[in-house]
Amino acid sequence: MPKAGIIYNDIKPIACQVATTLQEKLTACGWEVCVATGTGGILGYSHPDRPVCHTPIDGLVPKGFDTDMSLAFVLGGDGTVLSAFRQVAPAGIPLLTINTGHMGFLTETYVNQLSQAVEQAIAGDYEIEERLMLVVKVFRPCSTDSEPTLLWEAMCLNEMVLHREPLTSMCHFEVQVGKHALVDIAADGVIISTPTGSTAYSLSAGGPVITPEVPVLQLVPICPHSLASRALVFSENDPVTIFPVQPNRLVMVVDGNAGCYILPEDRVRVEKAPYSARFIRLQSPEFFRVLREKLGWGLPHIAKPTSVELP
């Protein structure tokens, strides 16, 4: 019996309703179905008096979601998609993302196309597009000569953001990319982004759009103090270590829905994850089409996006 999963946003009534309908449809077609909510991939935030919040990466895989599962359906918006990949990437499960949210930049199809999408998916009529993910770890040096203690770790698809707390001054960082020399950055924060995340926070902070198949990462300073501090694109195989150079603590956020406090003595390490995000594509991936439909990129300059009929 083939096996499928469903991950849905249980806060949205439409996602709950569609999850029930989808489960019934798959069961009627002879599939074993496992169901989980996207909240299982949200790690939460630490409290100021309790900065440590360590959840092992492999511990987020929902019960029943294993290597025997052929595929899983995600019902929600971009936040649910980001959470779902943290849950299933260690098991290598490909996801068909169905938008029940707003923009749905990362989603493949919409609820009104659900029946056709399900039929195509269970027939195996699709391609799989693999996207780079990151592992973010926070270390704190020990008082002895032993190895630093791992305080916190998480996997992400978009980005890691390290920034100042509200009502505090500009931050100073020393950043090492691969084996290159340390660089000093004075800014409100720094972003380490994947190509997938290049259309998210890093784009708003002035970083370039990177097509998903390019094997690179990027570092983007947030509101830098120097005109010379600009986005840097580098190999995906170069790990990044960030050393805070200031007396105040910082806040780290991963994919916008998980994070922890970073104290002055802590070290943040970001590197390519051993797992990939595996997107099910019902048609050949066309990144520029998504940019045009979701962000209005590349539309005729003589007309506003709202006045152009999109394909």
Known binding residue 293? Answer is: no
Known binding residue 201? Answer is: yes
Q: Rounded to an integer, what distance in angstroms lies between the CA atom of residue 22 and that of residue 35? A: 10
Known binding residue 158? Answer is: yes
Known binding residue 78? Answer is: yes
Residue 94 in contact with residue 278, Cβ under 8 Å?
yes
Known binding residue 203? Answer is: yes
Q: Rounded to an integer, what distance in angstroms lies between the CA atom of residue 156 and that of residue 83? A: 8
Q: Check the CA dihedral 133-212-115-69 and report its sign.
A: negative
- Active-site residue, 10 included: no
Cross-strand bridge partners of residue 225: none
Q: Rounded to an integer, what distance in angstroms lies between the CA atom of residue 263 and that of residue 269? A: 14
**CA distances for 92 relative to 65, 84, 164, 197, angstroms:** 10, 12, 35, 20
Known binding residue 204? Answer is: yes
Known binding residue 110? Answer is: no
Known binding residue 112? Answer is: no
Q: Rounded to an integer, what distance in angstroms lies between the CA atom of residue 134 and that of residue 116? A: 33
3-state secondary structure string, 109-136? Answer: EEHHHHHHHHHHHHCCCCEEEEEEEEEE
Q: Rounded to an integer, what distance in angstroms lies between the CA atom of residue 256 and that of residue 160? A: 8
Q: Which of 78, 125, 238, 255 is catalytic?
A: 78
Known binding residue 202? Answer is: yes
Query: Active-site positions?
Result: 78
Residue ranges for the known binding site for NAD(+) are 78-79, 158-159, 188, 199-204, 257
Residue ranges for the known binding site are 78-79, 158-159, 188, 199-204, 257
